[in-house]
Structure 1
Amino acid sequence: MRFLVNHAVFALMVLPLLTVPERLCAQQETVTYRKNNEAIVANLDSADYVRVIRAPRLGFELPQLEEYYPNEQLKRKGNILDAESYPKFHGAVVEYYENGRKKSEAFYDEGLRVGQAKYYYRNGQLKKEMWHGKRPNDQTNEFTDVVTDTLVNYYDSLGTALVVNGAGYVREEIGKDFEEGEYRGGVRVGKWIGSFQKQRYTFSEQYENGVVVYGVSTDRQGNTFPYSSIQTPPQYNGGIAKLMALIGRKYRYPKAAIRGGIHGKVVLGFVVENDGSVNEIRVIHDLGYGTGEEGVRVLNKASKWKPGYKRGVPVRVAYSLPIRLISP
């Protein structure tokens, strides 16, 4: 099981497409083949999806992003703030399943979901309606200071309402796992139970006003893992500032990059294993001239991390790290 902690992720590579529609090959387009973990691969056959970023055109203020499944079905579309960094959505974003049915509709403000959003089952049935971010008070219509995601309505796959106006009981299937409990005021309350990592672990946790106050996970051998936070991201020993200071000391600006006046952002992707070691280091965004390879070399010299946790259990976490280069 992975959960992503993305500080900045972007890669720029123009590659010829083999079987995707002609509309993906117009001018001023950046096309990349990608895996679900954002890694770029060389061809469509080994990709989970194709990302297309189009430069702003007359009548469009922002770059446009579209993603396609290998079967040419649209996966996601929306406008982004900057085509030269990790895609940060701004405005309406729509996602689709491989069968062409709508998966979600949401609105983004500088990369964060805000306001009303709708999510659908694969069969096209509405699954849930949520409010992301600050929500207006029903009486005064003024926004509260509490920033949270609240559930408005929830339906089963046949359309039966299980949560109405933020109140009800839900058992939500998540692949081979599930989460089950009560909503009040749009947030989780009381005892919730479920499983994760394909039923390798079960959990029981207690909520107050949408916040976990304590919980315990149990593996198949009966070992228990107490926690007070559902997810905890990995942490570099000494903090991220210490890691960036290490990179600043150890990074050797390639001579070819200096001669070429190359500057900008290199982004590295890697996995922090459940023992804190770093694995699968790769270059997500490369400026060329050896700048990405040098980043990989330096990151390999870094010490171990404190692993990330999900419900008290150490897990593998996909992570990304931007390195901003300023030509000497």
Structure 2
Amino acid sequence: MIKNLAFFILLLLFSSFSLLAQRKQLSYHDSLGRTVQTREQSYYYRVITPDEQYPNLRKYKEYYTKGDRLKLVTRLTNGSMTSSKIGECLTYYANGQLQEKQHYNDKNQLIDSAYAYYPNGQLYTLSLHKFVSSDQRVAPRLLMEGNESSRQRIVEYILVKDSLGEVVVKNGTGDFPVFDLANLVLLEQGPLLNHKKNGEWNGKSGKRTFKEIWQNDKLISGVIKDSLGVATNYNEDTYAVPPEYPGGTSALRRVVANNYRYPRAAIDAGVSGTVQIEFIVEKDGSMSSFKVSKDLGYDTGEAAIEAIKKAKRKWSPGIQRGLPVRVSYALPIQLNLSS
């Protein structure tokens, strides 16, 4: 009897550990974030586990493979979707120094105070993220964020320092060097006045260089040149234009609705809810790189991809600084067996 009881307890413990292992997600990624198969191929790895403190959320951590140092820590509202961050988010350099400290609301939008640091630990920026209603003027540089709500995000830079600790912007006024901290690259630089771009800004976009004239956060003119010196002029209207499907998103949704084939397994299971498909709108307006970012299982995500692929008409491509660019797009699709 005692022997059988001991065996039963061991079986329960084994089952508990197996369940925990099943709920833990581990994946390996290269420096561009692409999934790779082994640790040896990876630049960092990702660990997603249940959150005992907040049962509706997931703990999300990334580690640099070399040295197993923490790269990012936050919480997610939606399984493994990295675009569903909520609460505090901390990112770190490979040397262990804190890179950024941010806060997200339940819509994965930056809110409140945010801090960014140089690799030497020196403060880079202290910024404040907040929202304004859509009837207030928002700088064109914010439009590419794809925020379709009636409120749009603005950023106020309270303090900006150079890597030696010298203050270069205070209360939104000064000469602002905009860095890509992940790659330690200077993207652009120019004057701010009361948190708004004002004057001549210069920068790089890939292998191109650009010069822009701003006045009170309004782009007056811009010119971008490639490595051969070929110039493209642009203005406020062609600075940042999101891609658009012919007839708009509603037309794309109609194509999906007309072509979606509910998987038999999903029908039998009575599955309803939202799946989300992410894809790239290419420079020529075609779609590529489809993936399921939110799934309901039972092949519902794969069926959604097949339905989107039935949309044969090309998009008007996204435009940035007068040139067509590749743009990532996410389309939520509502599935309802009762409709």
Task: State the TM-score, normalizing by the size of structure 2.
Answer: 0.75
1:210 paired with 2:206, answer: no
Q: Give the stretch that moved more between structures: 178-187 or 37-46.
A: 37-46
- Following superposition, the deviation at residue 109 of structure 1 comes to 2.3
Cα deviation digits, residues 201-253 of structure 1 (max 9, x gap)? 22222223334343232333423131316432211111111111110010111
Helix, strand or coil at the partner of 2:251: helix
* Higher Rg: 2
Q: In 2, are the aligned partners of 1:217 and 1:313 still within 8 Å (CA)?
A: no
Q: In the alignment, which residue of structure 1 is the partner of 2:52?
A: 57
Q: In the alignment, which residue of structure 1 is the partner of 2:230?
A: 222
Q: In 1, are the aligned partners of 2:76 and 2:82 still within 8 Å (CA)?
A: no
One-letter code aligned to 2:331: L
1:124 paired with 2:125, answer: no
Cα deviation digits, residues 131-188 of structure 1 (max 9, x gap)? 11159xxxxxxxxx99520112211222222122322113445455531211122232
Relative contact order higher in (CA < 8 Å, ≥ 6 apart): 1
Gaps of 5+ in 1: 1-21, 136-144
CA distance in 1, matches of 2:120, 2:84: 29
- Following superposition, the deviation at residue 275 of structure 1 comes to 1.0
CA distance in 2, matches of 1:117, 1:35: 27
One-letter code aligned to 2:260: Y
Q: Aligned residues: percent identity?
A: 33
1:158 paired with 2:164, answer: yes
CA distance in 2, matches of 1:124, 1:257: 51
CA distance in 1, matches of 2:240, 2:77: 28
Q: Give the stretch that moved more between structures: 116-125 or 246-255.
A: 116-125
Q: Give the stretch that moved more between structures: 39-48 or 200-209.
A: 39-48
- Following superposition, the deviation at residue 322 of structure 1 comes to 2.3
Q: In 2, are the aligned partners of 1:131 and 1:151 still within 8 Å (CA)?
A: yes
Structural mapping, 1:20-99, within 5 Å: 28-33=23-28, 43-45=38-40, 49-58=44-53, 62-71=57-66, 72-83=68-79, 87-99=83-95
One-letter code aligned to 2:328: A
- Following superposition, the deviation at residue 35 of structure 1 comes to 6.4
CA distance in 1, matches of 2:242, 2:265: 36
Q: In the alignment, which residue of structure 1 is the partner of 2:154?
A: 148
1:133 paired with 2:130, answer: yes
The alignment yields a C-alpha RMSD, in angstroms, of 3.1
Q: In 1, are the aligned partners of 2:162 and 2:168 still within 8 Å (CA)?
A: yes
CA distance in 2, matches of 1:59, 1:272: 36
CA distance in 1, matches of 2:34, 2:274: 16
One-letter code aligned to 2:101: E
Q: In 2, are the aligned partners of 1:177 and 1:196 still within 8 Å (CA)?
A: no
CA distance in 1, matches of 2:38, 2:253: 33
Q: In the alignment, which residue of structure 1 is the partner of 2:318?
A: 308
The alignment covers a number of residue pairs equal to 294
Cα deviation digits, residues 51-79 of structure 1 (max 9, x gap)? 43333424777443223333332222223
1:183 paired with 2:179, answer: no
CA distance in 1, matches of 2:267, 2:195: 55
Comparing both structures, which one devotes a greater share of its residues to helix?
2
CA distance in 2, matches of 1:59, 1:173: 35
Cα deviation digits, residues 23-53 of structure 1 (max 9, x gap)? xx76743444456777655554555544433
Are residues 147 and 254 of structure 1, via their aligned partners in 2, closer, same or farther at CA, if it must alter by over 3 Å?
Answer: closer
CA distance in 1, matches of 2:246, 2:255: 12
Helix, strand or coil at the partner of 1:252: coil
One-letter code aligned to 1:93: C
Are residues 294 and 48 of structure 1, via their aligned partners in 2, closer, same or farther at CA, if it must alter by over 3 Å?
Answer: farther
Q: Give the stretch that moved more between structures: 120-129 or 163-172.
A: 163-172
Gaps of 5+ in 2: 1-16, 133-150
Helix, strand or coil at the partner of 2:198: strand
Task: State the TM-score, normalizing by the size of structure 1.
Answer: 0.77
One-letter code aligned to 2:256: I
Q: In the alignment, which residue of structure 2 is the partner of 1:275?
A: 284
Q: In 1, are the aligned partners of 2:200 and 2:212 still within 8 Å (CA)?
A: yes
